[in-house]
Amino acid sequence: MAAAGGGGAVKEVKSKAELDSLVAEGNPVILHFWASWCDASKHMDQLFSHLSTDFPLVRFLRVEAEEQPEISEAYSVSAVPYFVFFKEGKAVDTLEGADPSSLANKVAKVAGSIKPGEPAAPASLGMAAGPTVLETVRELAKDNGASHHSGQLSSGTGDQLKKRLEQLVNSQPIMLFMKGNPESPQCGFSQKVVDILKKENVKFGSFDILSDSKVREGLKKFANWPTFPQLYCKGELLGGCDIAIAMHESGELGEVFRDHGIQITDSNEGKLAEPNLGKGGVTEPSGLSTATTERLGTLVNSAPVILFMKGKPDEPRCGFSRKVVDILRQEKVEFDSFDILSDDEVRQGLKVYSNWSSYPQLYIKGELIGGSDIVLEMQKSGELKKVLSEKGVTSGETIENRLKKLVSSSPVMLFMKGTPDSPKCGFSSKVVNALRGEGVEFGSFDILSDDEVRQGLKTFSNWPTFPQLYYKGELIGGCDIVLELSSNGELKDTLSE
């Protein structure tokens, strides 16, 4: 039995694949995200180790949050210490902050030793952990405001906080919300983004989210982005560390800055270089092969309105793409999209083809309209409606048309509660595991994020529950059918016919 559980030891997890394998075994699992620079994290880790001796049939796992970004992002870790509790192969609870009593209670509940709602008093709280550790943890919790909280904002302060966040993200043309400050970053991810911005030779403002828990928690909801750091340009979210690195390495980050009039410091002469306010600095639309040119021409004319963006309309990968999607939906415009992150030939070639070096790019009847700033300005002035009307593009996408596009947006499409890396129900989790177990690539849509889709899909598919799995636009079924196909060895064949 000891081998199936934790056996009183804490195991260091080195990869997401390893974690997924351990969780899939079905035993109770407690996962501790920690950081070596955080005192509260280190003290809670002592308590965590002691708890592992009290609950030998529970598997206790430790992850150094900054060393395993894939795992941290999968579980929306934005502060340490942070704990995730698993039972029967799925995440059932979380805890943020240095709260020893809550940790002990939650461990005991997952271990099944007490009934829900009853207080736990394992030996580790009074004996194994020792009074010094507990007292230190409680003092840290008091000093740092790190005790357990729901993270919910009262209705009375919600509007005030939203206004404050809007002011903060717009307070500088480039704004970095990070742990620590540029001179003394408090996490490796923040350090990396600071280094990138310095290499890009741009001035930027920053905000230490460790200094203000309301801003830290509020910004997750405001930006719909659960982790830090968060990088903004002209009030729009670009993304976190991974996206900033990818954009910097491809040269796209500098192009975005130039397109938005950000002044670049000439590092050789210590002067400010004039920003390029034209079309991204690509002046000579040449050098493309005939085949690439023809392909791009076909793509930009493939729909009356097409948006070349990062990600998909329901899962934008940058704030500027999200802004244009929101505008088109507000105007009730039917549009197709192309994820430029999925095709480097299109991503690089379109910059030359259109003489516009950043994304998103919006085309109407094959003609480039511009990026997010231009589309927003056109919407405010009424010019966007006028252009659409002049080009014969009518507004008013029906929910049925939207659903048809959604179910066909990926060959295998799963409508679920939550996301594949963070399912919000056991049935959704089972279908995700079945698809991944067969090595099937699939797109997904979180029906909890859009009530119109959630309710409309029930009628559209004549299927009242979720998850729903589609193949080439046709409904396969829900959890039971998918699991039956999987157990019969027919799932992969069904999704590849």
pLDDT in tens, 443-453: 999 988 888 88
Among 473, 491, 482, smallest CA distance to 404 is for 473
Residues 5-25 have pLDDT tens digits of 444 589 999 899 999 999 999
229-233, 246-250, 305-309, 339-343: least confident range: 246-250
Helices 213-223 + 155-169 axis angle, to 10: 80
> What average pLDDT score do residues 298-309 get?
93
Percent of the chain with pLDDT over 90: 24
Helix (H) or strand (E) holding 370, with range, is strand 367-370
State the pLDDT at residue 79. Answer: 73
Amino acid at the residue 25: E
* Tokens 């993200």 found at: 169
- Rank 43-52, 308-317, 476-485 by mean pLDDT and report only the highest: 476-485
Among 495, 309, 340, 315, smallest CA distance to 416 is for 315
192-206, 217-231, 387-401, 473-487: least confident range: 387-401
In whole angstroms, give the CA distance from residue 157 to residue 169: 18
In whole angstroms, give the CA distance from residue 109 to residue 297: 60
- Please name the residues in contact with 284: beta carbons below 8 A apart, sequence gap of 6 or more: none
State the pLDDT at residue 397. Answer: 59
pTM of the model: 0.41
Instruction: Show the DSSP H helices in 75-130 as ranges.
Output: 100-111, 123
Query: Could you give the domains of the chain?
Result: 10-144 (3.40.30.10), 155-273 (3.40.30.10), 290-397 (3.40.30.10), 401-494 (3.40.30.10)
- Write the DSSP symbol of residue 405: H
Residue 318's pLDDT band, with cuts at 50, 70 and 90, is: confident
The neighbour count for residue 445, using CB atoms within 10 Å, is 24
State the pLDDT at residue 270. Answer: 42
- Please name the residues in contact with 158: beta carbons below 8 A apart, sequence gap of 6 or more: none
Residue 395's pLDDT band, with cuts at 50, 70 and 90, is: low
> What average pLDDT score do residues 340-367 get?
88
Average pLDDT, the chain: 80
State the pLDDT at residue 162. Answer: 86
In whole angstroms, give the CA distance from residue 341 to residue 273: 29
Residues 161-207 have pLDDT tens digits of 888 898 899 889 999 999 889 998 888 888 999 999 999 999 999 99
Residue 341's pLDDT band, with cuts at 50, 70 and 90, is: confident
State the pLDDT at residue 116. Answer: 42
In whole angstroms, give the CA distance from residue 436 to residue 453: 25
Is pLDDT at 105 greater than 90 in this prediction? Answer: no
State the pLDDT at residue 168. Answer: 92
Q: Which residues are bridge partners to 60 per DSSP?
A: 10, 30
> What average pLDDT score do residues 443-465 get?
87
State the pLDDT at residue 137. Answer: 47
Instruction: Show the DSSP H helices in 331-425 as ranges.
Output: 344-354, 372-381, 383-390, 399-407
State the pLDDT at residue 186. Answer: 84
> What average pLDDT score do residues 122-148 get?
42
Instruction: Show the DSSP H helices in 95-187 as ranges.
Output: 100-111, 123, 131-144, 155-169
Query: Is the peptide bond between 81 and the residue preceding it cis, with omega within 30 degrees of 0?
Result: yes
Query: What Rg value do the Cα atoms of the chain yield, rounded?
Result: 25
State the pLDDT at residue 282. Answer: 35
- Residues 209/177, Cβ–Cβ less than 8 Å: yes
* Tokens 């009530």 found at: 451
In whole angstroms, give the CA distance from residue 117 to residue 172: 47
Residue 245's pLDDT band, with cuts at 50, 70 and 90, is: confident
